């Protein structure tokens, strides 16, 4: 019997790259996103697999529970959970729309936490399963001009690493993907495509492949790209005030 993966934010960027990677390995797919038309196209593309389409906006409170309830009613077993959905915003905290920032926290933090809470017990009961939480190299530092986004990704990394220890001795693994700037629609949504941080953005399919390999090997934290690995390491040793200044600099225009 084919295994099943649940992927959030499945219609574009890294989410769509993961759809292709898991489909190529024969996984049945449960897709969660806002774009139903795109998900239907994916379903038609992979008609040889069991593809379930769930149209939800996870930035709305209660949506994650609705996803869980729908899957539960179908009797599906989730072997892999990919918490990929998320977005960022560029600008000074007090000048950005508050509701949009709250929605960001809901999507990047709350929905990810809820979905992990709903599906982790099933994996523990079967003593089998993998979870990939998508964070960012932003998780390693404060991020002026993207203060809330950086904070959400720091949460994802801290939360995920704590669960790794809770699951010590179990066959269930949790991996955190920490890419740097990646060529997806994230850049346009966050209005950061013209910044220094995106001057060396990686291709999304390369990031996804590194993340996939790390997930399947049970790697704890996956930092993609040698430059990003160096940056994450450096951030651990420099004073936080200096790291924040550097982050603010790279958030500036090229």
Instruction: Please state the three-class secondary structure of 64-112 as a single string.
Output: HHHHHHHHHHHCCCCCEEEECCCCCCCCCCCCCCHHHHHHHHHHHHHHH
Q: How far apart are CA 58 and CA 226, in angstroms?
A: 32
With 0-12 / 13-18 / 19 or more C-beta atoms within 10 angstroms meaning exposed / middle / buried, residue 130 is: buried
Phi, psi of 135 (to 5 degrees): -105, -130
Q: Which of 16, 149, 150, 155 is catalytic?
A: 149
Q: Of 152, 114, 117, nearest to 135 (Cα)?
A: 152
Q: How far apart are CA 16 and CA 31, in angstroms?
A: 10
Task: Give the three-state DSSP class for 180.
Answer: coil
Q: Which residues are 6's β-sheet partners?
A: 30, 81
Residue 149 annotated among the catalytic residues of the structure: yes
Q: What is the DSSP string of 109-146?
A: IIIHHHHHHHHHHHHHHHT-EEEEEE--GGGGS--TTS
List, by residue number, the catalytic residues: 149
């Amino acid at each position: 019997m084919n295994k099943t993966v649940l992927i959030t934010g499945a219609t574009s960027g890294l989410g769509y790259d993961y759809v292709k990677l898991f489909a190529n390995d024969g996984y049945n797919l449960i897709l969660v996103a806002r774009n139903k038309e795109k998900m239907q196209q994916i379903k038609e593309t992979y008609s040889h697999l069991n593809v379930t389409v769930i149209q939800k906006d996870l930035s709305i409170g209660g949506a994650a529970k609705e996803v869980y309830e729908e899957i539960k009613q179908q009797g599906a077993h989730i072997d892999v959970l990919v918490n990929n959905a998320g977005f960022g915003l560029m600008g000074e905290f007090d000048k950005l729309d508050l509701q949009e920032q709250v929605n960001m926290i809901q999507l990047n933090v709350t929905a990810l936490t809820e979905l992990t809470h709903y599906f982790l017990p099933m994996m523990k009961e079967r003593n089998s399963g993998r979870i990939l939480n998508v964070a960012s190299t932003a998780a390693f530092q404060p991020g002026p001009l993207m203060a809330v986004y950086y904070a959400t990704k720091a949460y994802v990394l801290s939360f995920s690493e704590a669960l790794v220890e809770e699951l010590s001795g179990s066959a269930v693994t949790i991996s955190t993907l920490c890419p740097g700037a990646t060529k997806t629609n994230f850049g346009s949504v966050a209005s950061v495509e013209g910044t220094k941080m995106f001057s060396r953005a990686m291709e999304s399919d390369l990031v996804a492949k590194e993340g996939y390999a790390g997930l399947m090997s049970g790697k704890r934290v996956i930092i993609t790209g040698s430059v990003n690995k160096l940056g994450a390491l450096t951030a651990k040793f420099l004073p936080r005030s200096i790291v924040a200044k550097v982050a603010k600099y790279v958030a500036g225009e090229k």
